[in-house]
Structure formats: C-alpha cells, structure tokens
Chain A
Amino acid sequence: MKFKVTENENISTVFLNGEIDMDIADNVREVIFPLIDSGKEVHLNMKDVQYMDSSGISVIVESNQRAKEKNTKVELKEVSQPVEKVLAMARKFL
C-alpha cells in the first residue's frame, strides 16, 4: 500500500487511508519513521482512514516517542470519526 506524502518547508504530511491494521502497520512505519529520522515535523492526515485498530495506535505512539528522541513532533490532522472513536477508547488506557 502506498501513501501520498506532501512536503511544505519542514513539515511532511502523510495521507493515510483505508484500514490500518496489523497487516498494514509495518508499511505505515516504513513511510513515517524515515521522515521523523530526518528531523522533519510529521503530520498524519487521517481523514480517509475508515478503520484503525490497536496496531494503528501502536504506530502513532511509536512515532511520537521516536519524534521526541529526534527533537521533532508528530501531529494528527483531520481525524476521521472511526479513528476518533478508537483514539478516545485508547486514551482511557494510554
């Protein structure tokens, strides 16, 4: 699966889409982690994500931790309703 990535000065925006599960999570990491490692601020646009499970949450948590180590940050943008529901449930836990 390929994800569109746009660049604007020091911000890279990754447009995630479809269903983010265990099968897709490593593909997402392969796109996001090199951007973080290059020191860029990374925005994850989630408007076209129809489903996300704990594997997707893991990617977000790992991305945040990695960004802190690299003195940059990861932000979620235009979070879809299904993703917001899962994030709300995850916030009770994390």
Chain B
Amino acid sequence: MSTESTNQNNLSEKKDFLVRSSSLKDVRNFSREVFEKFKINEDLREELVLAIAEAAQNIVKHAYRDFPDTQDRMAVRISCSDKELEIAFFDKGKPVEKSKVKHRAIDDVKPGGLGTFFIQEIMDSIKFKEGDKPWINNLVLTKKL
C-alpha cells in the first residue's frame, strides 16, 4: 500500500493487484484497511467495499475476459477529502465501451448487470476516462461524505 499524500485534509492510498478473481479478497481487505485509517463512517464502509469489489470484478470479467491468465495488474486508489471520497481504478485491459456499461431492464430476471447496479446505487457518480499511459482504462467513482 502506498500513501500518496497525507496532509490533514486530503488522504490518498493506492495499491495494485494481479488481475484475477483470487485478488478480489485482497482488494476488499485493502479497502477496509483504508476506510478504517480514513475513519470513514462504519455504516458506509461495507457498502463502499461492495462498490469497489464490483468495479474490480468488472475489470476481471470484462476488460480481461479473453485473458484469464494475464500477469497484468490493476490499481485501486482511494482518496478522501473533508467532503468527498474518490475511488479510482486503473487497468490495461480492453477499452471500456461506455454504451455497454449499463444495468439491464427490470423485467429481465438474469442477474447480469447487477454489479453495475450496485455501484450506481452506492456511489454518487461514475466516470469512465482514458487512462494516462501505461493505463488504458480509468474508472472514477465518487461519494459525498
């Protein structure tokens, strides 16, 4: 875990993980450690952990769908100011097609798209950006505190 800045009003922690499903537990544990360190409201912590885990899962499932044995790493950065939490994800997988990132119609009983729905329910904003080199994708989630 690397601390990028620790001035009193702006905290940031970043860590990278191998892109595979077995890393998701490590992503959750990293998030829990950071939220404890940042003293995020306990009622909010597990919801945020769920949103982060779903976003990381989407990288494994979608950005690296055709490369299950990749040695690439994804990075998660959690930043906190007095009023807002920002969670950024960086990966080098298949570029995200924004038009395809949506949850399904309510009358379709298959569960696919549920993870994206959870992220939308929990977070205030979701932005997909092109990543600065070497990254391809940069997803940024924010939540007002």
Contact = CB atoms under 8 A, between A and B. Distances in A.
Interface stretch (B4-12, B112-120, B137-145): B112-120
Interface residues of A, number: 21
A79 interface: no
B1 to A, nearest CB: 20
B24 A22 contact: yes
B25 A21 contact: yes
Name the prevailing secondary structure of the B interface residues. helix
Interface residues of B, number: 26
Interface string A70-94: 0000000000001001100110111
A30 interface: no
Given A92-B121, A93-B103, A93-B106, A22 B60 contact: yes
10 contacts: A19-B25, A51-B49, A53-B50, A53-B57, A54-B115, A61-B110, A65-B109, A82-B46, A90-B114, A93-B117
Interface of A: 19, 21-23, 51, 53-55, 57-58, 61-62, 65, 82, 85-86, 89-90, 92-94
